[in-house]
Every structure is written in structure tokens, then in C-alpha cells.
Amino acid sequence: MALGIDIYSRFQSVTNWQAVKDHGVTFVFVKLSDGGGLPNGGRNTGDALVAGARSVGIPVGGYHYAQASPSPEAQADVLIGEVRRLGATGCVPMLDLEDNPPGSGTPNIPDSRKRDFSIRFCNRVAGHGFRPGIYMNNSLAKMLRPDQFGVRDLVIWIARYGAKPDPAAGRYDVHQYSDAGQIPGIRASGVDLNESYTNAHLTGGGAAPKRKATTELMERRTIPASPSTTSVRLFLSGSETAAIIVRPRVDGDGITDAPVWQGNIYAWGSDKVGVGGNPLQTPGFNPKTVSHRRYHLPGAVWADFEYSSNMEFEIDIVG
């Protein structure tokens, strides 16, 4: 698993790309096109966001907001034109299949046309030499079953907050699990947060190798309640993808009224050298953890985790 974000210059402003990378963001999708042209009539291009992600080495790709017209092929051509112009080839070109906001006055693609539209769009992307991808919410995925489109090597990205996508939605590569994330270095009311379960989204330049998991769940630890600050030692894999995921007992909305208060994380590698990652050293860090939170600790073989919590909770150790 790996943390990623999707952003749009109309709603998110990135002030420090290095801080975004240091937080553990490993991929970025940027809105590049909308219908037959650029977003918001060309007033919100993805130029600065793509350039910023590339400047710190974060793989970046573009997504396209689907509209009822023009044809899916024409819309795919617009997206690929922007991908090539900006060099946004670190992640697959992605079709964002969702309805327009209520009251926008813009017609939506009828449900009866969404499957055909998606297949034609994705096949056009593939015809340009790129591996195609598609984003939709859990309900639409259950209705359309993108894993049954017959589009070769299709990357599937499903949004569902507070829970993993329903098994009835079929397979998926990326899960969008929140639209209210806060990322250091990004000024916004909220940032979409995503977890990847394969590396397929990273193959934007062409056909991808067979999928393999980027990380593996090594252990799930139940951490006892402690009203005062205490420490627990965790043993990690030492790999580049080593991380811990703090998991408070959340409700159906994906948040909890019984937060975990986060303290220091002291992580060490096999050479007995600290690997960093202490969240308390991050400017603006909020120690009140009310939903699942991931800490990337590349190379760590053990970490001392400080916390206080009135309820027991879980920590996933991944690597």
C-alpha cells in the first residue's frame, strides 16, 4: 500500500512540494482536462501542480472529468494532449466518471451510456500508447463493474469513504478513502487521500508489467488503552515501503470520538541509524488522530511509538 493524493488547482494550492513528499505522498493525480477542453474554461490548468510534483520526484499523472459531449474519443484526445504537453506520465491517464455537482446546469452522461462511454474513452487512451485508468464511486462500480469492461490492463480506482470498496464492485487498484485529508505543504479545506494496492497506477508511459503488491501487511497489533503517554516497540521489515498505519476504532463515517493522541516515533534501521519520520517535528502536525493515519518509515527495522488513548486501537505494520 502507498499513499497518494488527487488535486485540482481550483481547490488546492501547494505551497511546499518537499513537505508533501516528506509526509509520505508517493503519487499524485492532477485534474488536467474537462469535457472538450481545459478545466474552468482554461482558468485552472494543471501546469504548476504537475511541474511541482515532478520537481521533487513524485510520480504524477493527469485525470479528465467526463462530460456528456463531445465524443469520448475527442475527450480522451484532450487529456492525452495535456499529459504529453506537461510530461505528466508518471501515473496512468485517468478517466474521472462522476456526475456534475447538483445545480450546475451541465448535463450528465446518462447511466445507460456510462459503460459504453468509458470503454471507448479507455480504448482511445490505449490507442495513444498509454495504459488507461478509470475512477468512480463504489455505487457506480457495483453497477458498471469496470473489471468486466474487457479493456486490457485497465487500472481501476474506486472511491468509498469509511470502508473499503464493496466486493460486489469487483477488483480495484486504488482506493480513495477520504476527501478531508490535511497534507503539510497544501493549503486547502480538504485533500482527497488514496491508498494503492498494486503498482499499476505508476505505469503511465505505456503497457505495465504484471501487477504486484507494493507493500504487504506484516502484522496487526492491538495496542492497549493508556490515558497517560506510553510507548510501544514495533518491528518492521526494513524495506523501502516499511510503514505503520494507526487505526483508531472508527464508526461508519470513518472517524472516531475516541482519538489516539500521537506522540514521538523513533525509528531505526538495521545499521542502528535513525531513519527519521518523527511526526512531532512536522510543522503544523495535529496529534489528534481520529481516522486511519499512515507513517512511512523506509528502511526501519524497529520503531518506538508513543501515544495516549482512552480506548484500545490497532496498528498495521506493512512492508
Q: How far is CA 80 from CA 31, 44, 101, 131, 187, in A?
A: 12, 17, 25, 11, 28
Q: What's the pLDDT score for residue 170? A: 94
Is 147 a residue whose pLDDT tops 50? Answer: yes
Q: Mean of the per-residue pLDDT values for the chain?
A: 90
Strand partners, 34: 37, 65
Domains of the chain, earliest start first: 2-202 (3.20.20.80), 217-318 (2.60.120)
Q: What's the pLDDT score for residue 206? A: 45
Q: What's the pLDDT score for residue 273? A: 65
**Sheet strands side by side (includes 293-296):** 217-223, 313-318, 243-247, 293-296
Q: What's the pLDDT score for residue 278? A: 85
Is 126 a residue whose pLDDT tops 50? Answer: yes
User: Over the Cα atoms of the chain, what is R_g?
Assistant: 20
Contacts of 105 (CB under 8 A, 6+ apart): none
**pLDDT tens, residue by residue, 162-219:** 899 999 999 999 999 999 999 999 999 999 999 999 999 997 544 433 344 445 778 8
Q: What's the pLDDT score for residue 208? A: 39
- What would the grid cell of residue 105 be? 446546469
**pLDDT tens, residue by residue, 63-104:** 999 999 999 999 999 999 999 999 999 999 999 999 999 988
Pairing of strands 174-181, 191-196: antiparallel
What's the rounded mean pLDDT across residues 51-69?
96
Instruction: Tell me the three state secondary structure of residue 266.
Output: strand
272 vs 60 pLDDT, higher one: 60
The neighbour count for residue 100, using CB atoms within 10 Å, is 17
Q: What's the pLDDT score for residue 207? A: 41
**pLDDT tens, residue by residue, 14-47:** 999 999 999 999 999 999 999 999 998 888 889 9
**pLDDT tens, residue by residue, 212-259:** 444 577 889 999 999 999 999 999 888 877 889 999 988 767 788 899
